[in-house]
Amino acid sequence: MLYEKRVSVGEKIRLGVIGFGVQGHFDLATALKVPGVELAGICDLYTGRIENAKELYGKDLYTTRNYKELLDRADIDAVIIATPNFTHVPQAVAAAAHGKHIMCEKPLGLHAGEVREMYRAAQAADVVHMTAFTYRFAPSMRYLKHLLQTGALGTPRHFRSQRFLDL
């Protein structure tokens, strides 16, 4: 089943990033806080961003301007897709075809048919595909969920929040 895969404690997850703009940089910085996650490569069309990645993560970091070259690498287990919206579907479908697990920025696709295409590709390849709803992992949100589930807050009638993030 697609979502039954789990990573064993101590197992490394070698990550590739497709799109190293502001969102890709943020997603990577967040992912690298997870024990066992290591950066294996970055793809971006812009030379300046590639130079920035090498400056931040080491001159020996694998970089490319072609996402298909990144996906061809056996040393990458999963990818972050943080590129312009219209590129998400072809990149995610290709990543699934290469057996890479996928974390894709929002919106997944430009319409429901595109999202179904991504889902079917991930299902066929037996890889995990998730949307970048990163708040679900924030300690404050997990605690709020706990408070709601235990009834400590009573029955909510209205909720509004504002959250600031740091790297």
- Tell me the pLDDT tens digit for each residue of 113-150: 999 999 999 999 999 999 988 677 677 778 888 999 99
Q: Which residues contact 17 (CB under 8 A, 6 or more apart)?
A: 24, 27, 28, 39, 41, 42, 43, 79, 80, 82
pLDDT tens-place string over residues 78-108: 999 999 999 999 999 999 999 999 999 999 9
| Average pLDDT score over residue span 17-39 | 92
pLDDT score of 163 more than 90: no
More confident residue, 31 or 3: 31
pLDDT tens-place string over residues 36-94: 999 999 999 999 999 999 999 999 999 999 999 999 999 999 999 999 999 999 999 99
pLDDT score of 9 more than 60: no
Say how many C-beta atoms besides its own lie within 10 A of residue 103's C-beta: 22
pLDDT score of 7 more than 70: no
